[in-house]
Amino acid sequence: MKYLVTGAAGFIGSHLTEALLERGDEVVGLDDLSTGHRSNLAGFEGDLELIIGDIRDLETCKRAVAGCDYVLHQAALGSVPRSVADPITSHEVNTTGTLNMLVAARDAEVSGFVFAASSSYFGDTEVLPKTDDMPPRPLSPYAVTKVTCEQYVKVFASLYGLPSMGTRYFNIFGPRQDPNGPYAAVIPKFIEILMRGDRPTINGDGEQTRDFTYVENVVGANLAACANAEAAAGHIMNIACGERMSLNTLHKLIADALGVDLEPIHGPPRAGDVRDSLADTSLAAKLIGYAPKVTSREGLQRTVDWFKSKA
């Protein structure tokens, strides 16, 4: 089979690309390298066709998807704070870019289109766990873009017959996740800061919780979605571990794994952030047979070990 992975040089996209190549599939990668890095493809870049291009350009999307059986659409401009600072660019990349990819995939008559949705869809609802059919309550421009894309995915399935679906991610982490920059995710950022002997900053009291999900679980979910594209078409499925962890606990686990004793600094809460997050993954289990294979704690140890090996 031939797959198009958008955002192939990114954190999740590179893991998907590597897994597909390892099982013998043909892969086309599309990435503009604005947030992805070619270093994420080290060791297997020569085994794929890498197109350096922007999903905001429809013709680029059409060229990339030509001849592909499946599309794993990971490309996006992530980060809630980034979208708060620049909502227009987040909209252009995430919403217009996804619409371009859906149009290109429809015209190419692919067998399955998997969109990387986001748990930011749920906003700050107090109901836990968060079920797939809850109404959206986006708190940031980033969340609005992802909610809008979910609707496009559903419409393309019902209106055009494109087997399109969404895998709604909850705080994905793992090797190759970028620890640098103002919009870095919390786990690689904590690891990097603690490894150099500094104290990380936690926004708020640290008792906010997240359903941290190791990247290997996401790879399995995407491949399972492709294998069950007809059954899953038109659905958006939560992909997570189904367990939650506070940022204070996260900090302690990382510090213990690194053998350091450094208390965090607590700063003000961050605008647009949700308080608690926990996923119900029963729909994904029913439609595509999803079950997380790596717990958040096991994944955290693997991730710390990887960062230590690269130090």
CA dihedral 41, 43, 45, 48 (to 10 degrees): -110
Between CA 17 and CA 130 the distance in angstroms is 29
CB atoms closer than 10 angstroms to residue 139: 17
Between CA 45 and CA 41 the distance in angstroms is 5
CB atoms closer than 10 angstroms to residue 69: 17
Helix axes 215-227, 11-22, angle to 10 degrees: 60
> Half-sphere exposure of 311 toward its Cβ, with a 13 Å CA cutoff?
15
Coil vs helix vs strand at 210: strand
Contact 263, 144 (CB under 8 A): no
Q: Is 183 a catalytic residue?
A: no
**H helices of the chain, where?**
11-22, 58-65, 80-85, 87-91, 97-108, 141-160, 186-195, 215-227, 229-232, 247-258, 282-288, 296-310
Work out whether strand 209-210 and strand 245-246 pair parallel, antiparallel, or are unpaired: antiparallel
Of residues 121, 142, 152, 214, which has the active-site annotation?
142
At a CB cut-off of 8 Å and minimum separation 6, what does 87 contact?
141
Q: Which amino acid is it at 275?
A: R
Between CA 12 and CA 19 the distance in angstroms is 11
DSSP 8-state secondary structure symbol assigned to residue 254: H
Is the alpha carbon torsion for 59, 61, 63, 65 positive or negative? negative
Taking alpha carbons only, the member of 232, 2, 24 closest to residue 105 is 2
Contact 96, 87 (CB under 8 A): no
Catalytic (active-site) positions: 142
